[in-house]
Structure 1
Amino acid sequence: MTEPTIRLSAVDPTADALFVYGTLRFGRILAALLGRVPSTAPAGAAGWRAAALTRRPYPGLVPAPGQTASGLLLSGLSAREWRVLDDFEDDEYELVPLMVESGTGGSPGTVWSYIWAAPDEVLPGNWEADSFAERQLDRYAARLEGF
């Protein structure tokens, strides 16, 4: 078994959830990476946005007062699945604890999320999941499914 990466050193895979707001919101992407779709629940991160990035099909989570990034909470991930997702994430991401609110009216809680740490690549507009699904999901997922 491989040692967890430094980014994962504080994560408790038996208890912690991951907030995803970009390509990992799609079951097809999760299935290609993990071989299954873990439990999900809608959630939002107030004070953040899923920003479009220069020449990248996926977003980066960046601070944005007055906005809320919508996404999903992934739970029930194994230690192996955490490592797979961590390997999938670009080096420009930092894994940090993040306060989110459940989309089902639950109370806010702290989970983990990958935030974008390369501000020079952040575009003014938000990344649109519907646009990605319509224009790029099939090609993006097929590339992952080929590995």
Structure 2
Amino acid sequence: MTQAITTSAAEATQHRNRLSQSPDVLFCYGTLQFDAVLRGLLGRVPQKSSASAPGYRAAALEGRVYPGLVAGTSADLASGLVLTDLSSEEWRILDAFEDARYELRQLPLANGGRGWAYVWPGGDVRVDDWDAAEFEAQHLAAYAARCARLAPGLAAGRPKGE
């Protein structure tokens, strides 16, 4: 990852507020689809299954190796997976890990179910979609190692930063 990430006290409060709706199923469309990232952050790979979100796309973001889920056209379909057995502690870790700009929203999924997703509110969105294969080939190893370095602090409730 090429940019430093810090979290202020106000952002930490915003993170806690995102979980006040007691989310259950997490729709992942970006880096959290990779087992190495999940193991780095949570120490395990939760139960998962394929899913997609109609009307959304996983957009490449300017200056970032991770994507943002943004509203698209009715023809768009963001592919990903759902994590179905996250503990409240794991939700807290993942929420602290996610950029403070993301909004946690419940979305309809193509299978007729619903899932919670971190939706990017706009800004820095590129016209191209995020390329998971490119991320895997060029960034996954370093990104997963970074996640493993951050995980103990996130689990202890400390703000994200390096």
Tell whether 2:36 aligns with 1:28.
yes
Tell whether 2:57 aligns with 1:60.
no
- What is the number of equivalent residue pairs in this alignment? 136
- Provide the residue aligned with 2:160 in structure 1: none
1:32-51 equivalences in 2 (<5 Å): 32-51=40-59
* Of 7, 11, 28, the match for 2:22: 11
Tell whether 2:134 aligns with 1:126.
no
Structure 2 residues not aligned, in runs of 5+: 1-12, 151-162
- Provide the residue aligned with 1:116 in structure 2: 120
TM-score normalised per structure 1: 0.88
1:109: how far off?
1.0
Which structure's residues are more often helix, by fraction? 2
* Cα distance in 2, alignment partners of residues 34 and 92 from structure 1: 22
* Cα distance in 2, alignment partners of residues 42 and 71 from structure 1: 6
* Cα distance in 2, alignment partners of residues 120 and 37 from structure 1: 31
Is the partner of 1:144 in helix, strand or coil? helix
* Cα distance in 1, alignment partners of residues 143 and 114 from structure 2: 30
Is the partner of 1:90 in helix, strand or coil? coil
Indicate the RMSD between aligned Cα atoms, in angstroms: 1.4
- Provide the residue aligned with 2:94 in structure 1: 85
1:11: how far off?
1.6
Give every structure 1 segment of 4 or more consecutive aligned residues whose post-TM-superposition deviation is greater than 2 Å.
none
What is the identity percentage for the equivalent residue pairs of Structure 1 and Structure 2? 47
Q: Specify the code of the residue in structure 2 equivalent to 1:136.
A: H
- Residues 32-72 of structure 1 show CA distances to partners (whole Å, capped at 9, x for unaligned) of 00010000000000100000001011000001111100000
- Residues 78-105 of structure 1 show CA distances to partners (whole Å, capped at 9, x for unaligned) of 000000000000011000010112xxxx
1:146: how far off?
2.8
- Provide the residue aligned with 1:104 in structure 2: none
* Cα distance in 2, alignment partners of residues 80 and 145 from structure 1: 16
Q: Specify the code of the residue in structure 2 equivalent to 1:22.
A: G
